[in-house]
Amino acid sequence: MKSNKELKDDYKQKKFKIGVFQIRNTVNGKVFVGSSLNLDAIWNRINSELRFDGHRNEQLQKEWKAFGEEKFQFEILAEIGQEENDRTDYESEVKKLEAMFIEEIQPFAEKGYNTFKA
- Which pLDDT value is given to residue 37? 95
Per CATH, the architecture of 17-111 is what?
3-Layer(aba) Sandwich (3.40)
Could you count the other beta carbons within 10 Å of the beta carbon of residue 107? 20
The pTM score is 0.86
Question: In sequence order, what are the residues at sequence separation of 6 or more whose Cβ sits closer than 8 angstroms to the Cβ of residue 115?
Answer: 57, 108
Residue 23 near residue 32 (C-beta atoms within 8 A): yes
Top pLDDT among 100 and 86 is at: 100
Could you report the per-residue pLDDT of 68-90, keeping only the tens digit for each? 999 999 999 999 998 877 788 99
- The Cα-based distances of 112 to 24, 36, 52, 73, 116 in angstroms read 9, 19, 21, 14, 11
